Copies of this chain bind each other. A is one copy, B any other.
């Protein structure tokens, strides 16, 4: 393995192996058999002695095993995910051994419709059977066994590759530690089915199609295949990026977008086979994680891995809602899952293009594998300990499950994990914080708490914590209600807005009280629900919530003195309140 200076893997090679199949061959989900299967695959970096550092990459519809590095020094482009894989990259080859294989049905070295049918000595063509995502995963499993890999540190993929990841997680639950599923879904939408139908039409109505048996005619259905690719390519890009890149630009009396698609179609037919395209697209159309497993939630009840689900904001082929549904189903099934919503202008192709944020997220999620060169002390995060942490820690029992709403970079979760050995998860809207929390090993949902916690099952946690976030919430009533739905008890801290100084300022000065952060004026957009302890009690009463415990936090000695005589509310800077459902 060579590595050049630009953090690339350098020169890599594709290997092909003939699978050792049982008598009768490989049984497909359709019931048909394949008597021989070759698999083309690439491996990068070194397998650890314990063979526990393998990341298996699943490729998408028209991908292949060549995922990173170059086959020859003068290759114009490296493998399709070179930005993700290499030393120091998202999947760090200093820690992980990476494997990717061309899928069953493909045309890049793994057995597919253009391969020789051992029964006839001619290409399969129309005789190649229908395949499924499950068949693809079974073949990957056989390959890995044959090369001596019993267990995967992680399996990762985008699009159809993400569907393979999901299938791995429920088909071989005890063989995968971590699953990373990007821009995918438990099944494709009606609209995606519709586009695939039109693409299929284009291929099958090509005069050269010949029912799929075109290998020996000398004329493949290239026109139809190019049309299918052009259409598919539209669905891979967001409308915004198309407008930005091409707009209504014209050249030689032709719209630039038109010439661009034409180019995409033409270069595609040079590298891909129409029958493979149809077989793999069919597998994608028919894939439904829930089918034969009840619901998506029930399917995930079999899974044992830790999951990272990544949604791509401008993806309209696998829209973010579908990723969120996966994350929700995983939560409902009681799995460990993190969900990340990446702002990604490139549409579905955002798992391949401009992937800095995606790579950082993947890197943070993957468990660190020590190679001995990093000291333990370098790994310990520095926590900016906030004034309410000690009080909150004091309210939490050992070994509890804690959800931290608006968890920031995970400081409180880290303290709770160290001092109370909690199992923690967070919710935050800021991507940088999400990456930090992933890096600390906690589960995290990347979303706005105002959007509700609908994805969190009832009673999933012992405590839901809302630390100094109430005043920024647009829907404090909803947040409170949801906290006590998902957890047995809630812990809320908020700045005291009814300090003596505030009271005098309003009563005598006629100015509205402000939150603890005095640099925020009443009209500042963040600071929208300033509240006092009494207001909070009113809300709790209205919601049928009991106050279990209340603590005032103040700096000055006056505050402490006043607190001593029950007047803490007049001087405290922060309130920390533990609540529970009444009765």
Contacts and interface: CB of A to CB of B under 8 A. Distances in A.
Interface stretch (A110-118, A517-525, A546-554): A517-525
Contacts of A529: 522-523, 528
Given A242-B190, A506-B498, A195 B539 contact: no
Interface string A232-262: 0010010100110111100000010110010
A477 B475 CA distance: 21
A512 to B, nearest CB: 5
A31 to B, nearest CB: 15
Interface stretch (A92-100, A199-207, A270-278, A429-437): A199-207
Interface centre among A190, A194, A507 (most CB of B within 10 A): A190
Given A198-B261, A207-B207, A512-B513, A193 B248 contact: yes
Interface in A252-303: 255, 257-258, 261, 285, 288
A150 to B, nearest CB: 35
B497 A523 contact: no
Contacts of A525: 474-475, 477
This chain: copies in complex: 2
A242 B191 contact: yes
A506 B503 contact: yes
Interface string A473-511: 011110000000000000000000110000110110111
A258 B528 contact: no
Contacts of A533: 510
Contacts of A506: 498, 503, 506-507, 513, 532
A221 to B, nearest CB: 11
A227 interface: yes
A190 B510 contact: no
Interface string A417-432: 0000000000000000
A227 B201 contact: yes
A561 to B, nearest CB: 19
A265 to B, nearest CB: 9
Contacts of A524: 477
A379 interface: no
Interface string A526-556: 0011111111001100100000000000000
Interface centre among A197, A205, A255, A497 (most CB of B within 10 A): A197
A479 to B, nearest CB: 9
A467 interface: no
Chain A interface category by residue count: 35 or more
Contacts of A261: 194, 197-198
A316 interface: yes
A35 interface: no
Contact of A239 (B189, B206, B224, B237): B189
A187 interface: yes
A222 B247 CA distance: 31
B239 A528 contact: no
Given A234-B191, A239-B319, A523 B510 contact: no
Contact of A532 (B247, B497, B511, B535): B511
Contact of A231 (B190, B198, B255, B528): B198
Given A512-B530, A532-B512, A239 B498 contact: no
Nearest to A249: B190
Interface in A346-368: none
B201 A230 contact: yes
A261 B243 CA distance: 28
Nearest to A191: B239
Contacts of A230: 194, 197-198, 201
Contacts of A531: 512, 522-523
Contact of A227 (B193, B198, B532): B198
Contacts of A513: 506, 512
Contact of A507 (B255, B257, B503): B503
A134 interface: no
Contacts of A391: none
Given A198-B230, A223-B205, A475-B525, A510 B534 contact: yes
A152 B187 CA distance: 51
28 contacts: A189-B243, A190-B243, A190-B245, A190-B248, A190-B255, A190-B257, A191-B234, A191-B237, A191-B242, A193-B258, A194-B230, A198-B230, A201-B227, A205-B224, A255-B285, A316-B316, A475-B525, A476-B523, A498-B506, A503-B506, A510-B535, A510-B569, A511-B534, A512-B530, A512-B531, A512-B535, A522-B531, A522-B535
User: Can you list the 10 inter-chain pairs with the closest CB atoms, starting with the nearest?
Assistant: A507-B507, A190-B242, A191-B239, A510-B534, A498-B510, A197-B258, A503-B507, A476-B523, A190-B246, A477-B523
Given A190-B242, A201-B202, 15 more contacts: A190-B239, A193-B255, A194-B242, A198-B234, A201-B230, A205-B223, A239-B316, A497-B512, A503-B507, A506-B507, A509-B534, A511-B532, A511-B535, A511-B538, A512-B532
